Every structure is written in C-alpha cells, then in structure tokens.
Structure 1
Amino acid sequence: MNAPAASAAREPAIANAPAPWLLHGRGYIAMLRFPDNCVAQDAFLPPSLAGRRGASRYGWMMFVDYASSDVGPYHELLFIPGSFPFADGKRHLSISRIFVSSMDSVVNGQRNWGIPKDVAQFDVRYGQHGVDQVRVSKNGSVFAELEFSSLPIWLPFSSVLVPRSLRTLGQHHDGQTYIYSPSASGWIKPARLRRARFDSAVFPDLGEAKPVLAVQVPRFRMTFPTSQVIPSL
C-alpha cells in the first residue's frame, strides 16, 4: 500500500523573522493628488480608521523590489492614503493596501508592524525600451499595471534629514496599534509614472489621481525597527 503523497506537497513552514529588519533593494515612489471626494483615496481602510483621514488630497504609491531582507528577496506594491490619529496621541501616515510576493513577508509584516500585507504574483521587467514595467496579479487575474521611466541623474538621500514625525507610520491590526519609524539611505533619480491601471475591486484605483512627483530609488539600504505596540482599551 502506497504512503499518502500529502506530505510531499506540504507547504514550507513560515519563517519567524522578528524586527528589526535590514533590507536592500530598489524601487519607485509616486506622490499623487486626488480629486475632491475621491472614493479611491479611502478604499480598503480598516473600520477603525474609516472617516478619520486628514484633509490632505495627497497620497503615496510605492513599488519596491527587495533584493535582500530578513525573509529573503520579494516584490511589494503599497498605497499610503494620508495621515490618521493613533493611540499615541499623534497623527501618522498609514498603509491601507499592500501586496507582496512572499508569504513569509505577509506573516511577519503583520506580526512585527501590523502591516495589512496580502500575497500576489509580480511580473517585473526592467529597461524595456527605457521603461520599467510592473504587473501584479492574484488568482491569475491582473489587478495592477504600472510603467515608469527615469532620468540618468543620481542624487544621494538619507532619512536622517527627514524629521522623525514625517517618517513614522501607524497601523491598526488585531486590536492593537503599531507605531514604527523606518530609516533609509541610498540614491534617487527623477522619474515619471507613465501609466497606471488598477482593478478597484482589489486595489485602490489610483488612476483617478494625478501624479505630481515621482522618483526612482535605484539603490537603498533600509532598516525596519521594532514597533511600539499599544493594546486597544
């Protein structure tokens, strides 16, 4: 009698990777301006933050290609719609929607920082006719398509020049508040978001917003520290 084959198909165990993390990679950041009363800016917020975003019409989209991290290499697409009040008495930026290509990143991102990560598949093609292309899909259906280009002007950057209050994020997850302040250094290049298409059922339809600023980050070193965790009352 043959032994069951289930053990051969068993999924690998999720890595346990507590903070802090050290990450290296490259990516793009786009600052977006939304029209008045745009539903997309507030899509996918947790109920605890719904209706509490500040009045700013600006948000940020990031695509990141991590060449190394505490859970190995992975891709990432995220959206930050603005700032919200948190349990430490301050307002912080918060990630409302984020997809990564690694389940290890999903589980540890939720565990360490309360980041609402979900898993997706990424098709990334660099330098096709001077354009970098990103396609993100889930369950075989493409829900995000991006095209970027950049200028050959390299400028150094360091987050030490940015006030801590402007690079501190907050998240609500499983009844707790997570507050964390990533730091980074590397190089940036002026860039352009040439095309953006989204399926609003899966990701905020950022195509409704106008790109006002974009940079390529061709090389960076980033640290994600241990979070301050505040239990809900």
Structure 2
Amino acid sequence: MRDDPQLAGLPVTPAPWQLQGRGYISLLRFDDQGEQQDRFLPRSLAGRRSRSPYAWLMFVDYRHSEVGPYHELLFIPGSFPFEDGQRHLSISRIFVSSPASVVSGRANWGIPKDLAEFEVRYGVDGLDRVKVSRGGRLFAELDFKSYPLPLPFSGGLIPAGLRTLGQHCGSQSFIYAPSASGVVRPASLRRAWSDAEEFPLLARARPVLTVGVSQFRMQFPVARILPLATP
C-alpha cells in the first residue's frame, strides 16, 4: 500500500456498508508454481497460502456505497490460516477509484486498497472494457463479455464460513463475511493484460470460469479484529 496526498485528512466511514452495482468475477488457473499468486502478499502471510493453482480476479462497478460510486479491481490468490483458527480467502492486491474507499477499506477491514484511475466502457463491439492506470501509466486491461441468461442468486444461502475473508494489516487480523444477492449471467474473460510491477501477471493465468453480475446488493459487516499471532 502506498501513501497518497489525496488521502490525507479523509475521515473513516464506519462499517457496516450497503453497496449496489455490477461487475465480473473470474476464476483463474496459474501454471507458474505460485509465482504470481504469491506476489504482493504481506510478510505475515508469505509462504502460508494453500498450494492450489486457482485464484480470483474481480472487477466491480459500485453504483451506490457509503462513500459514493467507485470502481474496483481486486485479486485473491487463495486461502491462508488466520487468527480465528480457520483458513480464509484474502485479498492481496486491490485498486479503487475513490480516495474515501481507500481510507475506509483499510481502517474497517484491513483491505490493502490503493488508488487508481479507471476507464470503463460498456458494450464496445459487444465487450465491456476496463483500463486501470496510476499517474497516467496504464497497468491493466480487461475485456469481458456477458451472455443473456440471467439467474437470480442469494449469498445468504452460502454458509458464512465459505464467504468469510481475512486480512492482515499492521499488527491486526481482520475477519469479515460479506453477503450479497442479485442477478448473475454466464460470461467470459476475453482478454487480460497487466504490468507485473503493479498487479499479478495475468498473462500467466488461464481463465477457467467467469460470471457477470449485472446487478447486486451487498453488505460489508463490521469486522472481527484480532491481534496478529506472533510467528
């Protein structure tokens, strides 16, 4: 995480948050013995990831949140042991377009958010295209396509243990279980490019499954915060 002058003095908007929007979720398979999945991990989680070759990539367009609308790109490399005695998925790299989301995401849930600029264009030659930059320097490009087969879903049907995430931030461990409901559609990730200096190298991954979430409602609850275990 980097400090940014735009973040100075911004207040924390406390949890819980209620969010609405749309986005895409892709399951990726890496074939590089975990080299890219292990990039950007905090030192306290390094070497502790489950050895699965699968990871998650998400692009989210929040239309409504406690800090207003914003875009988000995130990477989940796998699961890790946490201070509650359980293994949880954990976000290792995440960019958002809102300074307020950066500040509150770090404080409320220990999520390592950084600020970036997003260019999002829907329906260009049948594709939804996302470009992400920092300081005018492009570091990620994604092309998604969704298909007209809407299916309702309810995250409340998924046990909390399967949707619980964990983060290490400073000397604290954050445990939280978002819930969501909405409409999903079959989709595909047609193109994924990234600069390895800012994001795991997506060229090393193969998309296995992608869904488009055309509309959702999500709640991010108050996190359970525990002291970081001494290694």
Aligned twin of 2:81: 85
- Classify the secondary structure of the residue corresponding to 1:42: coil
Q: Deviations over 1:80-123 (max 9, x none)?
A: 00000011111000000000000100000000000000000000
Code of the aligned partner of 2:47 = G
Equivalent position to 1:35, from 9, 31, 54: 31
Asked whether the 8 Å contact 2:12–2:107 carries over to 1, the reply is: no
Q: Say yes or no: does 1:217 pair with 2:213.
A: yes
Code of the aligned partner of 1:59 = A
Asked whether the 8 Å contact 2:168–2:228 carries over to 1, the reply is: no
Equivalent position to 2:224, from 219, 225, 228: 228
- Classify the secondary structure of the residue corresponding to 2:105: helix
Equivalent position to 2:97, from 83, 95, 101: 101
Give 1:12 deviation, angstroms.
Answer: 8.6
Moved over 6 A (4+): none
- Classify the secondary structure of the residue corresponding to 2:104: helix
Q: Say yes or no: does 1:197 pair with 2:193.
A: yes
Asked whether the 8 Å contact 1:19–1:224 carries over to 2, the reply is: yes
Equivalent position to 2:132, from 132, 136, 146: 136
Q: For residues 1-233 of structure 1, what are the structure 2 equivalents within 5 Å?
A: 13-232=9-228
Aligned residues: 224
The 1:206–1:169 alpha-carbon spacing in structure 2 relative to 1, beyond 3 Å, is same
Aligned twin of 1:6: none
Code of the aligned partner of 2:215 = R
Code of the aligned partner of 2:195 = D
**Cα separation, 1, equivalents of 2:111 and 2:212:** 23
Asked whether the 8 Å contact 1:15–1:71 carries over to 2, the reply is: no
Give 1:194 deviation, angstroms.
Answer: 0.2
What RMSD in Å do the two structures reach over aligned CA positions? 1.3
Give 1:56 deviation, angstroms.
Answer: 1.1
- Classify the secondary structure of the residue corresponding to 1:149: strand
**Cα separation, 1, equivalents of 2:81 and 2:7:** 39
**Cα separation, 2, equivalents of 1:49 and 1:12:** 28
Structure 1 unmatched runs, 5+: 1-9
Q: Deviations over 1:63-82 (max 9, x none)?
A: 00000100000000000000
Give 1:166 deviation, angstroms.
Answer: 1.2
Alignment TM-score, normalising by the size of structure 1: 0.93
The 1:42–1:125 alpha-carbon spacing in structure 2 relative to 1, beyond 3 Å, is same
**Cα separation, 2, equivalents of 1:198 and 1:156:** 32
Rg bigger for which structure? 1
**Cα separation, 1, equivalents of 2:9 and 2:215:** 31
**Cα separation, 2, equivalents of 1:219 and 1:60:** 19
